[in-house]
Structure 1
Amino acid sequence: MILITGATGHIGSAVIERLLQLTAPGQVAGLVRDEAKAADLKARGVQLRVGNYRDPASLERAMQGVSKVLLVSGGSDDDGLQQHYNVVDAAKKAGVGCLAYTGRALQNPDTLANPLMVRHFQTEDYIRASGVPYVLFRNILYMDTLPQFVGPQVFEQGIQLPAGMGEVAFALRQDMGEAIANVLADSRCDNRIFTFTGSTTYSFTDVAAALSELSGKPVAYTPIEQPTFEARLQAQGLPNAVVHLLAGFLTDIKNGQESTVSPELADVLGRPPTPLKEGLKAIFKL
């Protein structure tokens, strides 16, 4: 039995979709907070386990009879790291034989501008220290998040971000989910680390050029300074925490943190990951 946490989320649902193609539905379970919101999964034979990262007892109950658990990293909650620790502790207590985790592919944890990203490496350390056999997935920034960065007026106003000429080996969530499922369906769990990225890196100049070509509208990328970017978001009414989070992502891109390129995603998929132009066409429905 393989338990996927965050089963109704973007990456969790992508993993489950692929697992259902690789194994019997009765061997796939999804951790959810509310069964009613996962009726479609239940209808397809996915076992639903109710649990919450903040409730260790519920997690331990959800993991009974489970051989593998995929911990899909949580959001930006202040207690997010403790939530991860709770899942790891529950897996150990329940006797889970393999714990997998969706972390991040970043160049240097010691020089990150976005403190939220440090949490991934702290979680990895905690998993190692637990003694539970593990598989770690270090994922590059999802291509699917680009609309959040470029904004809803991208075709009218272009792209204005404090990312300099930093490059990212963007990959689609769908590709990531498929690859993660392929690994989870394998019987091995030998403390492996996979670095999942696209096959090449792209700057926001490349993103702008691809959007221009796909839409037929001129889209330009203009690098701006971080204070200008933050002031613009604050004027739009975004909370300071969100503003600083987005600025941190972009500063790390500018500093090359997201520029890792690994062949492992292509190897596990058995095909090249979706390239930028094709991915943007689907994301922006162009």
Structure 2
Amino acid sequence: MILITGAAGHIGLAVIERLLQLIDPDQVAGLVRDEAKAAGLKARGVHIRVGDYRDPASLDRAMQGVSKVLLVSGGGEDDGLQQHCNVVDAAKKAGVACLAYTSRALQNPATLVNQLMERHFQTEDYIRASGVPYVLFRNILYLDTMPQFVGPQVFERGIQLPAGQGRVAFALRQDMGEAIANVLADSRCDSRIFTFTGSATYSFADVAAALSELSGKPVAYTPIEQPAFEARLQAQGLPEVAIRRITGFLTDIKNGQESTISTDLADVLGRPPTPLKEGLKAIFKL
């Protein structure tokens, strides 16, 4: 049985949807904090297990009868690394044969500005140290997050971000979920690392040009300085910790951290990943 944590979230659902096309639903389990949110999966035959990354006892129960686990990385809580470690510990304790993790495809962890991302590589190290056979999925920035970057008035105001001409090999969450499921359905677990990225890199100027073409409205990208951007976020009432994380994320993009390109995603999908324009068309319903 394959257990997918975060089964009610975006990437968890995408993985499960593909798994249900590949293996019997009776061999798929989903870990959720709120069982009501997984009613649809349960109705389709997926085993639903209730647990929380902070609750080791619930994780021990969830791991029973499981041969593979996909640890979907958690959010930005201060104890996020410990939450991940709790899942790894429970998997080891249960004798799970394969532990997979959704990590990040970044150029150089040692020079990251957004220190929250360091947690991914600390989790990788903890998984290696556990001795449990593993698969690491190093995922590039989801194209699906674009509306959060450009804002709800992108077609009226354009894009103003302190990302310079930084480039990102964006890929759709759906493509990554499909590829992750393809790997999990395979019987092998030989401590492999997959780097899942799009086939090309794009700047926010490229994003603006694609949105202009798709919408028929002029969308411009204006690189702005970090202080001006931070002042705008402060005016919106965002807390300082959130502002630091957002600006750190964009600074890392500016510095090329998200510009890795790999053929792994295309190889595992058996087709090219969804290109920028096609992905934006779906996301913005253009």
Segments of 4+ in structure 1 off by > 3 A?
none
Map 1:7-26 to 2 at 5 A: 7-26=7-26
Map 1:1-286 to 2 at 5 A: 1-286=1-286
Displacement after TM superposition at 1:192 (Å): 0.1
Normalised by the length of structure 2, the TM-score is 0.99
Displacement after TM superposition at 1:240 (Å): 1.7
Q: Distance in 1 between matches of 2:245 and 2:153?
A: 21
Amino acid at match of 1:246: I
Q: Distance in 1 between matches of 2:35 and 2:275?
A: 36
Q: Distance in 1 between matches of 2:179 and 2:239?
A: 35
Displacement after TM superposition at 1:158 (Å): 0.4
Query: SS state of the match for residue 29, structure 2?
Result: strand
Displacement after TM superposition at 1:250 (Å): 0.4
Displacement after TM superposition at 1:36 (Å): 1.3
Amino acid at match of 1:19: L
Q: Distance in 1 between matches of 2:191 and 2:95?
A: 16
What's the CA shift string for 1:58-93, capped at 9, x where partnerless?
101100000000000000001000000000000000
Q: Distance in 2 between matches of 1:200 and 1:140?
A: 12
Aligned pair count reads: 286
Amino acid at match of 1:133: P
Q: Unpaired runs of 5+ in structure 2?
A: none
Amino acid at match of 1:190: D
Q: Distance in 2 between matches of 1:48 and 1:209?
A: 43
Q: Distance in 1 between matches of 2:178 and 2:246?
A: 27
**RMSD between superposed Cα atoms in Å:** 0.5
Q: Distance in 1 between matches of 2:10 and 2:239?
A: 24
Q: Distance in 2 between matches of 1:200 and 1:171?
A: 9
Amino acid at match of 1:93: K
Displacement after TM superposition at 1:232 (Å): 0.3
Amino acid at match of 1:162: P
Query: SS state of the match for residue 171, structure 1?
Result: coil
Query: SS state of the match for residue 278, structure 1?
Result: helix
What's the CA shift string for 1:82-119, capped at 9, x where partnerless?
00000000000011000000000000000000000000
Q: Distance in 1 between matches of 2:160 and 2:236?
A: 15
Q: Distance in 2 between matches of 1:44 and 1:85?
A: 30
Normalised by the length of structure 1, the TM-score is 0.99
Displacement after TM superposition at 1:215 (Å): 0.5
Amino acid at match of 2:66: V
What's the CA shift string for 1:159-204, capped at 9, x where partnerless?
0000000000000000000000000000000000000000000000
Q: Unpaired runs of 5+ in structure 1?
A: none
Amino acid at match of 2:47: Q
Displacement after TM superposition at 1:222 (Å): 0.4
* Aligned-pair identity (%): 86
